[in-house]
Chain A
């Protein structure tokens, strides 16, 4: 049994030896003239695509109600993993078992149409996020109210500012209350108020014993919020445990990976040392961890 839907299984999410392989196009696509100039190599190019393993042999289980962060350097396979969990992209190998109604917050306002009004888009988006027609109709007033868009809700979305767009997308997202929520980096956008409301929403979900899986570069989020953090590197699970320890390891990887990171790290440390003794009460130096998350 791969999917239960009723939340009765022991685990919310179970991955068993999951791998993901992408086939890369050849560096130079073949053209019609190749048939004449180099027929042999053209045939080869048509068939041979370069395999790239975004994820290798990932096995993990996540329990109901767990809040799990996934971090890793760029290209470590975080997004591939989330896409597999969301059912958007199939694993090349292995099995995925998901137990419960899930909602994916991979993008706020996925598929919003610029020429449709906010109201039309919110309704369509709510259906695609998993609400039934009746639920969507029932929650529309709340969604509109929460977005704070007022009279603009009946304007085409091309006229919206970035903030209005995100507020509507977020308002729909929080009114879809899934058992398993997948979140991809959306916390990085939006102002402080927006992020605060995101966390309030997560707290409510947490109280309802929802499982939350967050992919982020923002290590502070994980330390504050997650029960557990998984560090991915080059498509494999490098470390899986308490957020604090995993985040340290992640920062260490970043530091080793590039001279620029190392310099930024040194600057951050030097900045702290230089500013601290002044003791003017304005400690503008953010903690090292959040600094580097901005980089």
Chain B
């Protein structure tokens, strides 16, 4: 490509970027679109279901029950507060897993919109993350009640710890969501590959076992997964009332990298998305 056409492309880039900027400022705002899409998707997801709220908590509860009996009663693993030990990790795990899974298809599921209207594409993966985050937040009281029912007194540290972990995991999910949604348009292998990866991630994360039972060397490696420190953080917050501390740094690092990567990739593909779908 000659330098001349390169210039023309740069000019074209600004030309095409501006319409929605001007439009966003004069008419519908990006935020309004985001809220509208998020609400629509939430309504659609549970329309016609009678027990919608119950379904949000059913998944972690069901798996928690199975694991509690299989590991606690059959294999007789000795962990204090075993039920809460499992649930405090399973609730945030399902938030993570469901969001990444749904974000992968965010652009494909809205193909009709992407190909026919121009709007900041960021809205679509972001709506997925927002919707799933809402589901997680409204299930937190159930978790808190279960913790209390297990004889653990609620701690004032929850008031600080929950928003902290919530914000960190949210940031991680926003970054990953933008990344996987964009990648999946150009490499359709992303979706099946990611599902396999999530299964793997479930077992290399400290969900069914406590991290301190893992031998030292492997433990360091396990901590290098984005979820490990987060799940440990949720768990020690709910069981011991312990505020998350410096142990979280790998998760912070991952969230930062995911955000930068996600924004970079999405900015690159934003304009070409309609052509690629």
Contacts and interface: CB of A to CB of B under 8 A. Distances in A.
Nearest to B270: A90
A132 B13 contact: no
A130 B18 contact: no
Given A83-B274, A95-B11, A88 B28 contact: no
Contacts of A133: 28-29, 32
Nearest to B19: A87
Given A120-B40, A132-B27, A133-B29, A96 B117 contact: no
A91 B28 contact: no
B40 A124 contact: yes
Interface stretch (A111-119, A196-204, A287-295): A111-119
A110 B116 contact: yes
Contacts of B26: 5, 101
A95 B15 contact: yes
A127 interface: yes
A124 B116 contact: no
Nearest to A80: B275
A113 B44 contact: yes
B57 interface: no
Contacts of A131: 27-28
A107 interface: yes
Interface string A263-275: 0000000000000
B116 A93 contact: no
Given A88-B116, A107-B112, A101 B27 contact: yes
A97 interface: yes
Contacts of A91: 12, 16
Given A17-B8, A86-B118, A96-B12, A127 B19 contact: no
Contact of A89 (B15, B22, B274): B274
B59 interface: no
B199 interface: no
Interface string A34-60: 000000000000000000000000000
A110 B27 contact: no
Given A102-B19, A110-B113, A135 B11 contact: no
22 contacts: A3-B15, A3-B19, A83-B274, A87-B19, A88-B115, A89-B274, A89-B275, A90-B12, A90-B272, A92-B9, A95-B11, A96-B15, A102-B23, A104-B117, A112-B112, A116-B43, A120-B43, A121-B40, A127-B33, A129-B117, A133-B29, A135-B27
Given A3-B18, A88-B116, A113-B40, 14 more contacts: A3-B19, A3-B21, A83-B274, A87-B20, A88-B117, A91-B16, A94-B12, A95-B15, A102-B19, A110-B115, A111-B112, A112-B112, A127-B32, A130-B28
Interface of A: 2-3, 5, 17, 22, 83, 86-98, 101-102, 104, 106-107, 110-113, 115-116, 120-121, 123-124, 127-133, 135-136, 156
- The 3 lowest CB-CB distance pairs between A and B, nearest first, are A111-B113, A110-B116, A2-B15
